[in-house]
Amino acid sequence: MWHIVLILDEPDQRVCAERLQACGLRVAAGGPGDTREIGCDDGTVVVLDIGMFGASGLAILRRFVAEPAAASALRIMVLADWGEPAMERLVLRLGADAFLPKPVGPTQLLSAIERLLAHPSAQPRPAVLAAS
């Protein structure tokens, strides 16, 4: 079974968690400081909001990809309030597996998670960029 970890602002996190759980998924909601608590298995998808209040989603993304166990096992999907191509290129270059501009409905999020898990990443994450 997939394990979805949401690192989003409230109330987005609560709403997304409820809707994904209603679809039968195992969902955990965490805050920006909870990144060390996330299990690193091949069925884990982290849904990370880049624009959280009081936290840098880019810094959290860099922490994930800098951690060898997380970088090799986790799938990371980044959400952003701004859907600019430059932001999408940046997060993908930093090591995210997918990018979705907000707002994202539960059906769209679920479809994106399914696509992400169906197509394993063909390229290793750029660990050198994670430290920058």
40-67 residue pLDDT tens: 566 688 899 887 766 788 888 998 888 8
Q: pLDDT of 72-116, one tens digit each? A: 778 899 998 776 788 899 999 999 999 998 888 878 888 998 888
The answer to whether the beta carbons of residues 58 and 92 sit under 8 Å apart is no
Instruction: Give the residue extent of every domain in the chain.
Output: 3-130
User: Is residue 34's pLDDT more than 60?
Assistant: no
Q: Between β-strands 26-29 and 75-80, what pairing exists: parallel, antiparallel or unpaired?
A: unpaired
- CATH class in words for 3-130: alpha beta
- Residue 97 in contact with residue 55, Cβ under 8 Å? no
Strands 75-80 and 3-7: unpaired
Q: For residues 122 and 35, give the distance between their C-alpha atoms in angstroms, rounded to a whole number.
A: 24
Judged against a pLDDT cut of 50, whether residue 132 lies above it is answered with: no
